[in-house]
Amino acid sequence: MDDAKTEPSAPPTDGMGHVTAKLPVGQADVAAGLAEVRAAIARAAEDSERDPATVQLVAVSKTVPAEGILPALKAGQRVFGENYVQESVAKWPDLRARYPDVELHLVGPLQSNKAREAVALFDVIHSLDRLSLAAALAKEIDRSGRTPKLLIQVNTGAEPQKGGVLPDQLDTLLSECQETHGLAIQGLMCIPPAEDPPSAHFALLARLAKAHNLPILSMGMSADFPAAIQLGATHVRVGTAIFGARTRKA
Ligand SMILES: *Cc1c(COP(=O)(O)O)cnc(C)c1O
């Protein structure tokens, strides 16, 4: 690559090679951010003697308009995460028509009344956290014949405002999903409390997944994905470090 022409291509880093991407959505160099994140994933995997190919990058494109997502698609990224069903329904059908092999993940909270749209659009749903939602998803899965992979979100910090089942209620929710609704659960997801060091939460989630024989561990975001990879993440959900800082809260 011709450095002179692509400059300024390096996203801001924190001095340890972690992208801090302070430029806003729309101004960030998406291809450079993506390359940096991929390199950091490979380093973290190799540091813990894991094959980098066992870590999937879910590029979280919430609030990023279609024009801002295109550079990531052009750079070969195919796995994307979104938070809002409505926003995804507006953005993704057109992008998918151009890139049919896109895999779409719902990482944000899901209301039961959006279960139909979510099952129709998403390949993986990370935020199953209650029995009523399991019932709504099971109904739509039966009706549509589509079978998105399902992860249970665990509220590892027991934060009242946050989605996710409490760790001590995971057992019950898992068996009810499986026995009452015939839903195969593939893994667990968590979002550690902003003020806590994340590693204890990642370790807890990894322990819970192992205890229940669940292969997928969705953990780690822009600020902490290397730590999540060291603790066994199979999917890291990275937005800001690729697309830039979001202006509206999401
Ligand atoms: C927004 C979001 C992300 C990405 O967060 P960044 O800090 O921008 O990398 C990951 N997971 C969930 C559930 C999110 O809502």
The preferred substitution site among 237, 246, 248 for testing ligand 1, maximizing ligand atoms within 8 Å of CB, is 237
19 within domain boundaries: no
249 within domain boundaries: no
163 within domain boundaries: yes
- State pLDDT tens for residues 124-133: 999 999 999 9
Whether the ω angle into residue 8 lies within 30 degrees of 0, i.e. cis, is yes
196 within domain boundaries: yes
9 within domain boundaries: no
Structural domain tally of the chain? Answer: 1
CATH at 57? 3.20.20.10
Nearest to 123 by CA among 141, 104, 140, 98: 104
Q: How many residues does the chain have?
A: 250
- State pLDDT tens for residues 99-138: 999 999 999 999 999 999 999 999 999 999 999 999 999 9
> For the chain, how far is it from start to end, CA to CA, in angstroms?
35
The answer to whether 157 and 146 are in contact (CB under 8 A) is no
161 within domain boundaries: yes
Whether residue 240 has its Cβ less than 6 Å from ligand 1: yes
State the residue range of the domain holding 233: 30-243
206 within domain boundaries: yes
- State pLDDT tens for residues 167-223: 999 999 999 999 999 999 999 999 999 999 999 999 999 999 999 999 999 999 999
CA-nearest residue, atom 10 of ligand 1: 237
Residues 15, 16, 17, 23: what is their CA dihedral angle, to the nearest 10 degrees?
Answer: -50
Whether residue 60 has its Cβ less than 6 Å from ligand 1: yes
% of the chain exceeding 90 in pLDDT: 88
- State pLDDT tens for residues 47-90: 999 999 999 999 999 999 999 999 999 999 999 999 999 999 99
15 within domain boundaries: no
